Structure 1
Amino acid sequence: MIKYHPNSELLLQYVQGALPASISVAIASHLELCTHCAEYTATVEGQCAHSAFAEEAMEDMSLVEVKECDEELGDEFANMMADITADDLRDDFSIASSKELRFGDKTITLPRALSHIGMGRFMQAGKLARSRLELDEGSMRTSLLYIAPGGTIPEHTHTGFELTLLLDGSFSDELGTYEAGDFMWLDHRHQHTPYTEEGCLCLAVVNSALHFNKGLSKLLNPIGELIY
């Protein structure tokens, strides 16, 4: 069961097209996995569309004298709208293809929102493997991160933010346990040590380097820019 979701402000910005592409892709992927957020977002889209058309109609009406809007014009407009809305033919422009990733004997199907974004080859270090997605957004970087069964990421915090969408499998940290579809947003106020017993695939969006906190992992901090 999905327990962690984008907040209402993020979903509104997504509907309005006000988010960077990487964050929009993460939310779109979450919506494919989360019926609750998909239904909520559809409602917000309807409300935004209604408001936009209502404002446009009011602006158009302000350009016309009320006396010119006689009964005949009203009837013509009503007939035209009836003809348009009576047409039940629709073109389906949705993308039905998908992309599959294989890790050992496990095959994972990506959400459609990710299936047509270019990605680099996976770079592996121990139980971690990362592929950078081809989204050019300056300091903001988007990756697929696979952690093999029994893998962990040393305790760290963030000098910026970290958005994580769990696509497959599960992992746990000091803050909770996460399943496929969970959407998490962390920043400098959080520190955690992700661990997965069964393995997991995540979509990660970050805008600054990770900062490792303990033991030998602190030695990674000078090359933190390369890690994220």
Structure 2
Amino acid sequence: MIKHHPTEQLLIQFSQGALPATLSIAVAAHLELCECCRIKVQNLEQSNAEALFTDFEDDMAQDEFANLFEQITANDDIDMPKGNAPQTLNYQNKTIELPRAIANSQLSSFVQLGKLARARLQVDDGELRASLLQIAAGGEIPHHTHTGFELTLLLDGEFSDESGAYVPGDFIWLDGRHHHSPATESGCLCFTVVNSALHFNKGLSKLLNPIGNLIY
């Protein structure tokens, strides 16, 4: 059962189209996996539409509205919707279907680093970087904190850290207040968004700080 969800503020911003592209992709992917958040967003979007339409009618004379409606309906061109063909990813000897929001984004090739593999989404979103991150069975990311924020959406498999265990659909937002060392017994695939490098803070793992940007 999914235990970790986007905040109400994130869902409101998503419904208003106000999130940066990478965060919007993360929330959209979570909605495909989480019915309760999907219903919340549907209700928010309906409220947004009703409020906008009411304001529009109040500010516009009826004849102007009728004229605008006539212009919209005067065009007989029809845009045929394209069917959504599920897109899959082969990883760790299995095949999974990617959420549409992620599948429709261009991915780089996976870069391998031990039991970790990362493919970057080709999205120009300022300082934000989005990736697909694989951790192989028995893998662990050394104990670290964050110089910015780290969003992790678990897509497949399992992992756990000092705060507990996670299942597909869990939406985990961490920042400099958090320290953890994620580990997985059977392997996992995550979608991540960060705005700064990880900071490793124990033992020999500190040697990884110069390449923190390569992991996420």
Alignment check: 8 A CA contact 2:118 2:215 kept: no
In structure 1, what residue type is equivalent to 2:182? P
Q: Which moved more, 1:112-121 or 1:28-37?
A: 112-121
Choose from 99, 113, 118 the match for 2:101: 113
Residue 17 (structure 2) pairs with residue 29 (structure 1): no
Seen in structure 2, the aligned counterparts of structure 1 residues 95 and 157 have a Cα distance that, compared at 3 Å, is: farther
Q: Which has the larger radius of gyration?
A: 1
Q: Cα RMSD over matched residues? A: 2.2
In structure 1, what residue type is equivalent to 2:132? L
Offset from partner CA, 1:93-128 (integer Å, 9 cap, x none): 475122211124211110111112110110111111
Give how far 1:161 is off.
0.4
Q: 1:201: which partner in 2?
A: 189
In structure 2, what residue type is equivalent to 1:202? C
Q: 2:124: which partner in 1?
A: 136
Structure 1 vs Structure 2: percent identity of aligned residues? 56
Q: 2:110: which partner in 1?
A: 122
**Pairs aligned (count):** 206
Q: Which moved more, 1:217-226 or 1:35-44?
A: 217-226
Tell me, in whole angstroms, the C-alpha distance in 2 between the residues paired with 1:151 and 1:227: 13
Structure 1 runs not aligned, ≥5 long: 65-76, 85-90
Seen in structure 2, the aligned counterparts of structure 1 residues 182 and 15 have a Cα distance that, compared at 3 Å, is: same
SS of 2:192 mapped into structure 1: strand
In structure 2, what residue type is equivalent to 1:24? S
Q: TM-score, normalized by length of structure 1?
A: 0.85
Alignment check: 8 A CA contact 2:92 2:136 kept: no
- The 5-angstrom pairing of residues 68-87 of structure 1 reads none
Q: 1:72: which partner in 2?
A: none
In structure 2, what residue type is equivalent to 1:8? E
In structure 2, what residue type is equivalent to 1:140? L
Alignment check: 8 A CA contact 2:150 2:174 kept: yes
Tell me, in whole angstroms, the C-alpha distance in 2 between the residues paired with 1:226 and 1:7: 28
Q: 1:96: which partner in 2?
A: 84
Q: 1:53: which partner in 2?
A: 53
Seen in structure 2, the aligned counterparts of structure 1 residues 93 and 39 have a Cα distance that, compared at 3 Å, is: farther
Alignment check: 8 A CA contact 1:95 1:112 kept: no
